[in-house]
Amino acid sequence: MNRRAFIALAACIALAAPAAAVVTFEKSELTIESDGKSHHFTIEIARTPEQSQQGLMFRAKMAADAGMLFLYDPPQPVSMWMYQTILPLDMLFIGADGKVVNIRERAVPGSTDTIPSAGPVRAVLELNGGTVARLKLKPGDRVRHAEIAR
C-alpha cells in the first residue's frame, strides 16, 4: 500500500472511531543531553492505559521538536508497536536513572511487530523518525524530565 492510500485509510478509521475513544494528553518540556549538547522537546505524556493505547496513532505530522513520553511505574520491560501509526518514529527506551537503555530508529508505520526494551525502563520517548540520527543520540545519553529519575 502506498503512503497516500495508507494515510487515507488511517483517516477513515480515525473518523469512524467514537469520539469518546480519543484521549487528550498533558504537555511538558524534556531535554536530552548528548555529547555536551542539550536538545529540547515539547512532549505529550501518556501515563494512563487509555493514553498509552492511543499514543501517536492516526497523526499525520508532528513538529520537529515534539514527541510523546510513555511512563511506566514501576520500571519494567516494555514492548511498543506501530499499529495504526502513520509517522515513522524513533523510540528511546529510558531507564529509571534517566539514561537511554536502547534505541529503535525509524520504526515502520503500521507494523504490528513488537519493539522491546533491552531491560526494565521508566519511560519510552517517541520522536519523529530520523531525529536520533540527526542529533546523533545514543544509548547512555541522559533524558531530563520531572517524571524520570525522581
Which regions in the chain score pLDDT beneath 70? 1-21, 150
- What would the grid cell of residue 109 be? 508505520
Q: What is the pLDDT of residue 1?
A: 53
Name all domains of the chain by residue range, CATH numbers in brackets.
3-144 (2.60.120.1140)
Closest CA to 41 of 104, 132, 116, 107: 132
pTM of the model: 0.85
